[in-house]
Amino acid sequence: MAERLKLYGVKPENIYLTGFPLPKELIGGPGGQIIKRDLSRRLQNLDPKNIFRKKYDRNLASYLGKGWQKLDHKHLLTLTFAVGGAGAQKTIGRQIITSLQEKIRQGKIRLNLVTGTHDEAVPYYQETIRNLKLNRHLGKTINICHAASRTEYFKKFSELLHTTDILWTKPSELSFYTGLGLPIIMAPPIGSQEEFNRIWLKTVNGGVTQNDPRYTNEWLFDWVNSGGLARLAWNGFIEAPTHGAYRIESIITGKKVELANLPMIV
CA angle 68, 70, 74 (to 5 degrees): 115
CA–CA gap between residue 16 and residue 247 (Å, rounded):
9
45 and 97 together in one domain: yes
Q: Is the pLDDT of residue 263 over 70?
A: no
pLDDT, one tens digit per residue, over 83-120 is 865 666 899 999 999 999 999 999 999 999 999 887 88
Task: Identify whether residues 7 and 57 lie together within a single domain.
Answer: no
pLDDT over threshold 60, residue 243: yes
pLDDT at 25 over 60: yes
pLDDT, mean of residues 185-209: 95
Same domain, 177 and 56: yes
pLDDT for the residue 213: 98
User: pTM of the prediction?
Assistant: 0.93
Q: What is the mean pLDDT of residues 216-238?
A: 98
Instruction: Tell whether 42 and 163 lie within a shared domain.
Output: yes
DSSP H helices, 29-120, are: 33-46, 51-64, 90-105
Residues 220 and 144 in one domain: yes
Mean pLDDT of 38-61: 94
In a domain, 227, yes or no: yes
104 and 209 share one domain: yes
In the chain, the percentage of residues whose pLDDT exceeds 70 is 95
Q: Are residues 7 and 135 in the same domain?
A: no
C-alpha–C-alpha distance, residues 183 and 206, integer Å: 6
For 253, the enclosing helix (H) or strand (E) is helix 244-253
d(CA 71, CA 43): 11
Of residues 244 and 38, more confidently modeled: 38
- Counting residues of the chain whose pLDDT is more than 90, the rounded percentage is 71
Q: Is residue 127 part of a domain?
A: yes
Domain range for 13: 1-19+243-258
Helices (H), 111-176: 121-131, 150-161
Is 92 in the same domain as 198? Answer: yes
Predicted local distance difference test score (pLDDT) of residue 246: 86
User: Are 230 and 253 within one domain?
Assistant: no
Number of H helices, E strands in the chain: 10, 6
